[in-house]
Structure 1
């Protein structure tokens, strides 16, 4: 009989912020790639000294917001982990233990912006919360879990 599984310790603020830093780098790469693609499709940087018109700038600005949103929505609703979360062995789950729905992932993404706005107060909140949850965890009815290390294979 296998031993009963114990819940992993709660996710520390430092681990949470480290994963967020990794994901910020991924999002920067996504936005940079979109900007390069946009520039190439618009005829390159030298086609017009004034750059794209207002519609082109609006399209690029919209893509710069939507692409990172899509990154988080897909990552969280398809496995509960972003690249940064995988690196730091963190997984997002619903409070009821089910996988995260696209709706909850969307709510979490938008509410995470609120957690960052007042000097990261929503993240600091996790230090005082009995379950270690930040504002966006509470708002989206989700929480982070530590993922146990995979057992090493014998060589």
Structure 2
């Protein structure tokens, strides 16, 4: 449940990140009509997402939402993840959305129906983790990564350090 909570919180945070990136793209390209240049905007936003996730995963193993929910990404041996593995995980993580988006596209769905199909697809993909022996998501199993519970160590207060060193 903690992973899904982090996933949901990540969505809220990314709404702001993508909104700002979309505004920047439309301003720099002087995009006046939302129907013209939408493919360029979509590719730009995909690159922004890739940079966001790959950078955070390869620099500390935690995005902002993962830090809030005490979740960390590590490799199979518990070591930090490099940029190549993080990029591979980003690409394969689209398995959360790809089947639902393809279904919505080929069924010709629009508006709220797309949200319903996406929600069902995401929940179905999350449920598949219950089939894995370590309850991992399938993109983590393929990439050799895993999510762990990780809480940073509290710094020792000066008063505690002084009293323990004099004792």
In the superposition, the TM-score normalised over structure 2's length comes to 0.70
What is the aligned partner in structure 2 of residue 66 from structure 1? 47
What is the aligned partner in structure 1 of residue 145 from structure 2? 142
1:90-109 matches, within 5 Å, as 90-109=71-90
Deviation at 1:127, TM superposition (A): 2.2
What is the aligned partner in structure 1 of residue 62 from structure 2? 81
Ranked by relative contact order (alpha carbons within 8 Å, sequence separation 6 or more), the top structure is: 1
Unpaired runs of 5+ residues, structure 1, are: 1-13, 46-50
Q: Secondary structure at the match of 1:144?
A: strand
Cα deviation code 1:15-69 (max 9, x no counterpart): 1111111211222212110222233334475xxxxx2784x43321211111111
The partner residue of 1:30 within 8, 11, 17 is 17
The reply on whether 1:15 has 2:2 as its aligned counterpart is yes
Unpaired runs of 5+ residues, structure 2, are: 101-120, 160-167
Cα deviation code 1:99-128 (max 9, x no counterpart): 111111112112111134362333212223
Distance 1:122 1:104, change over 3 A: farther
In the superposition, the TM-score normalised over structure 1's length comes to 0.75
Q: Distance in 2 between matches of 1:57 and 1:115?
A: 23
What is the aligned partner in structure 2 of residue 125 from structure 1? 128
**8 A Cα contact 1:126 1:132, kept in partner:** yes
Measured on the aligned residues, the alpha-carbon RMSD in Å equals: 2.4
Distance 1:21 1:98, change over 3 A: same
